[in-house]
Every structure is written in C-alpha cells, then in structure tokens.
Amino acid sequence: MESKWLEDFISLAQTHSFSRSAEQRHVTQSAFSRRIKSLEAWIGIDLIDRTSFPTSLTREGHLFYEQAIAMLGQINDVRALLRENRASTESSIDFAVHHTLALTYIPKWLIDLKSGIGPFGARLAAFNVHDAVLVLSEGGCDLLLTFYHPLQPLQLDASRYDMMIVGCEKLCAFSRCDQAGRPEFALPGSVSAPLPYLSYASAAYFGRIVDLIQADALVPLHLEKCYETGTAEALKMMALEGHGLAFLPESAVAQELAQQRLVRADSPQLRWEADMEIRLYREKPSSQKPGKRLVAQLWDYLYSHQA
C-alpha cells in the first residue's frame, strides 16, 4: 500500500468527484481511478459506491475515511521527525532529480561543483517531473533539478522558492543509422507510410513536450505508435535496436551520435525540436527554516559562477 493512495482516497471523499480529485492530485483521471482501485484491492473491499452520482463512499468507505486521515497523519509525523534528523547532516545534500538528468547531467555537474566548493556528500533520488516537484514542496529534498518548458510550467510559488537556470537541453527526433549514415526512419513520413513511433506514456513530461512539437510543426508528422514507455532511456534502447524513431534529449544520445549508432531523424531544412531549460530550485531560507549551510554555499557558488 502506498501513502499516496490514502491521499487520493481522502481527496475523493472530500470532493465526491474523480475528475476534480485527479486535477487536485495532478494525475490523469484514468491514473487516479486505477490508484483508488489499487487501494480497494489492497484492503479487499469496495470503498466507493459506483452505483450513485455524485460519487459517494460505501459504509466501509466512511469507516476507512477516518482511519485514513489518522494513518496519514502518523506517517507525516514520522516523516517530519526523520527529516529533522536528516537535516542535521550538514555535510550532505539531498537532490530530487528528473530521471534523465540523473543519468546525463548530474555526474559531470557534481564533479564541477566539488571542484568549486570542495568535497561534499550527495544523496540522489530520481523521479518524473511531477513527483520531483512534489518532493521539494513537501520538504523531502534540499534541491530540485528538473527540466522546464514555458508551455509546461512548474507551479512553484516564486515567493517561496529560489530558482536558477543551470543549463539547457534540446528534445529532438532520433533514429538508428543505416549503412550510409542516414536515418532508417526519416521525418516527416506520409499518410500512406507513417513512421514507427516510439512514444512516451501520456502522463510523461517529455510526452507533453513532443505533443507541443507536433502541434507547432509547419509540416505535419505522420507517425504510428508502436511502443510506449515512461523514460527516455528505455526509448533510446528501442531506437538503437531499430524499432522506430524516438524524441530524446540530445545529451542522452551524445555517445550514440559520436559512434554513429543514432542520427537525427529530421533535416537541417526541417527541424522538429523543442528547447528546454535545466532549472535548479530550493526553498528560500528563512529565520524559521535557514536550511543547510552547504546548500547556501553551493547556491552562492553557482550564482557567482553564472555571473
């Protein structure tokens, strides 16, 4: 059982609406519904009365509602206690990082940081964009490193969080090379011969960016989805095996491009791509929550380095 299932259930009990609760929880309605069903399967009894409208709880659901609030409160109390102990570890920084950045950006970036401010410990947790932001907002990390696109903004209060742009990334279409070094699957494809498309899951951040690329394309793309997953690394492996083309961050395929195992699937004349920022966030220090000195040192170093 996952604690987020309890949060989902409490939200549904309060809104009486799957759609409103899914919006509150920042997930699709189908994903929210699956999580409620997972909770019911774990308990072994129906909590939601699906024969009525608006949504209401069963008798057992009402009983569980009070217990869910109590359980979630206990979990949060224990978490807060443990995080207070963790916060006392001044020689280490906790990062919440997007999956792709954990593989492509973080390794060299940490070397650069340590050369500038000296050695320090780092604890890294990799998430999708939504969950990484959630970890920061709930106090589960010192720093958040994630992607940003202006048409897919992060809802982080500027009065509460500091932000710094530390890099940039480009999302482009890539395909395996043929023997002549050309893409096996070259955009844009055609109505009669759509290209096999390796897609991100609908809720994935990069999937939404690809949707923006296609919506803004001057020349429409003709793609036929043949595979779907949530991570760029999994799509890269499928592209390397020749299953189709995939939109991938350039940094994630730098080695494969140098080895001529992958190549861009578009052309210099016609580009289908999106530029993203790599952003670093922290909660603003205050008298009540001053934060770690090491985090302040890192932030000041990056700020002066950029200047």
d(CA 127, CA 143): 13
pLDDT of 49:
86
pLDDT of 81:
61
Q: Tell me the fold of 89-167+277-306.
A: D-Maltodextrin-Binding Protein; domain 2 (3.40.190)
pLDDT of 86:
55
Q: Pseudo-torsion of CA 224, 226, 230, 234, nearest 10°?
A: -120
Q: Tell me the fold of 169-276.
A: D-Maltodextrin-Binding Protein; domain 2 (3.40.190)
pLDDT of 144:
96
What share of the chain has pLDDT > 70, as a percent? Answer: 95
Whether residue 149 contacts residue 274, with contact meaning beta carbons closer than 8 Å, is answered with yes
Decide yes or no: CATH 3.40.50.300 for domain 3-85.
no
Residue 230 φ/ψ, nearest 5 degrees: -100, -10
The domains of the chain are located at 3-85, 89-167+277-306, 169-276
pLDDT of 139:
83
Q: Residues 259, 265, 267, CA angle at the centre, nearest 5°?
A: 105
- Tens of pLDDT, residue by residue over 52-84, are 678 889 989 998 898 888 888 877 777 666 665
Higher pLDDT, 81 or 268: 268
Residue 8 scores a pLDDT above 70: yes
d(CA 295, CA 226): 44
293: enclosing H helix or E strand: helix 293-306
Residue 17 scores a pLDDT above 70: yes
Q: Pseudo-torsion of CA 109, 113, 115, 117, nearest 10°?
A: 180
d(CA 268, CA 187): 12
pLDDT of 83:
61
d(CA 49, CA 128): 32
pLDDT of 3:
83
d(CA 102, CA 113): 15
Residue with tokens 């730098």: 254
